[in-house]
Structure 1
Amino acid sequence: MIKLIPSVAVTLVSLVALSGCASQSESVKGEYRLPLLNSSPEQVCSAAQRQVVVSDLMLSDGILLQQSATRIHAARHHRWSGSLEQQLQQSVQRVLSEPHCNGELVIQVMDFYGDDEGNAVVTGHWLYRQDDTQIEQTFSQRQPLTNDGYEALVMALNQAWSDTLEQIKNAIPN
């Protein structure tokens, strides 16, 4: 019986320690917003004229990281402040504003993540329609990170997205 007491004590201490870990809430270490949204635009196109649709993968709150050729991980502690789809939508409405509000533009974003080689990856396609004009193109941006960390990834994603919007702006008629 005396030999059993230390074993039971160790088991109880282990259970208490494990239950403490399990009951701790996962805290968010960082919420991120695209810097494109930091300025107040003079003009904004309506959401009906400028639509952004994201792939299901990007509906996660966590910033996405590619860990291997087959694995994508959504960060639990580093998240978008608000939905990424909404941030992309608002940035399109701001950047592609007057005189670029004519016609209807739909942008499908397929990828928006950090890859396992230290790059921000932004890919997808877009379709612009106005009267008898229809323009459709794909986009693929790969922006190297300047530093390690989520802040650097968000800045690189922002730059890749900004470059994409600039290409679209130059391709659609005023």
Structure 2
Amino acid sequence: MITTPRTRPALLPGLVLSLLLGPLLLGLSGCAGSDPAPSSYLLPSTAPTKQYPHTLAISVAPVGIAGHLDSEGIVMQLNDIEVYQARQHLWAEDLGKQLQQQLQQRLTLSLPRSQVVGKGQPMLGGVPVRDIRIQVSRFQGHHDGMALAEGQWQLLDGSGRLLKQAGFRVEQPLTDDGYPALVRTLAAAWEQVADQLAAELSLQPSL
């Protein structure tokens, strides 16, 4: 039988109740029979439609994620100190890997004259190189009806010299109940993070 952390449901917004009570009721009914199959989710993606001559090479390192995010279950933050990892609503692939792939896609769209690859992949010669490193501390639903992406990024040149680092915190309101809406809103928040990085890259003096 599935149990959830002790909370006071009357004090939680309807969004959190809809996200948590659904899986709980399904788990309770599963005690009398077979457990329902979990749902798995991927962040939505968009592929670039046009290529341009490259004037910059960007390497995106694997995205580091906090320990409470390093699991299959999508995370909800219940209050300032409690988090809940869903048991029936899971990431279909490793979250850090998905975030890296989505960042690469978004940067490719935002900086069409740049070659954007994962760290370790072949890069163009004769153009400036930038290395992006990101550590994500929050990527989860929030009890106030928001999706939250938070962490820190670093921007390095081709020789490994740190050019700039900054923290980020992006909140997006959910427009609907349920985990599919949460996943889409988290993806939109991550796009904002990628756009912040794209803007920073475009301001680099060597470009």
Distance 1:34 1:166 in 2: 17
2:153 is aligned with 1:145: no
Aligned to 2:184: 155
Structure 1 stretch displaced more, 118-127 or 89-98: 89-98
Cα deviation digits, residues 66-85 of structure 1 (max 9, x gap): 11222100100111111111
Alpha-carbon offset, residue 109 of structure 1: 0.7
Distance in 1 between residues matched to 2:114 and 2:172, nearest whole Å: 28
Q: Give the secondary-structure state (helix, strand or coil) at the position aligned to 2:62.
A: strand
CA contact 1:143–1:156 (8 Å) conserved in 2: yes
Distance 1:79 1:47 in 2: 31
- Comparing 77-86 with 100-109, greater Cα deviation is found at 100-109
User: Alpha-carbon deviation of 1:47?
Assistant: 9.6
- Larger Rg, first or second structure (1 or 2): 1
Are 2:69 and 1:69 aligned?
no
Percent identity over the alignment is 31
Q: How many corresponding residue pairs?
A: 153
Confirm or deny that 1:32 pairs with 2:41: yes
Q: Residues of 2 paired with 1:120 and 1:134: CA distance?
A: 29
| Unpaired segments ≥5 residues, structure 1 | 1-19
Cα pair 2:154 2:162 within 8 Å, conserved: no
Question: Residue in 1 aligned with 2:31?
Answer: 21
In 1: Cα distance, 2:153 partner to 2:198 partner: 11
Q: Which moved more, 1:96-105 or 1:164-173?
A: 96-105
Query: What is the Cα deviation at residue 31 of structure 1?
Result: 1.1
Equivalents in 2 of 1:124, 1:164: separation in Å?
Answer: 10
Tell me the distance in 2 between the aligned counterparts of 1:81 and 1:55.
Answer: 18
TM-superposed CA distance for 1:42, in Å, is 6.7
Question: Could you tell me which of 79, 97, 104 is aligned with 1:93?
Answer: 104
Aligned CA RMSD, in angstroms, stands at 2.7
Decide which structure has greater helix share. Answer: 1
**Structure 2: 5+ residue runs without aligned partners?**
1-29, 117-128
Sort the Cα spacing of 1:125 and 1:116 in 2 relative to 1 into closer, same or farther, 3 A: same
Aligned CA distance change for structure 1 residues 75 and 46 (closer, same or farther; 3 Å)? farther
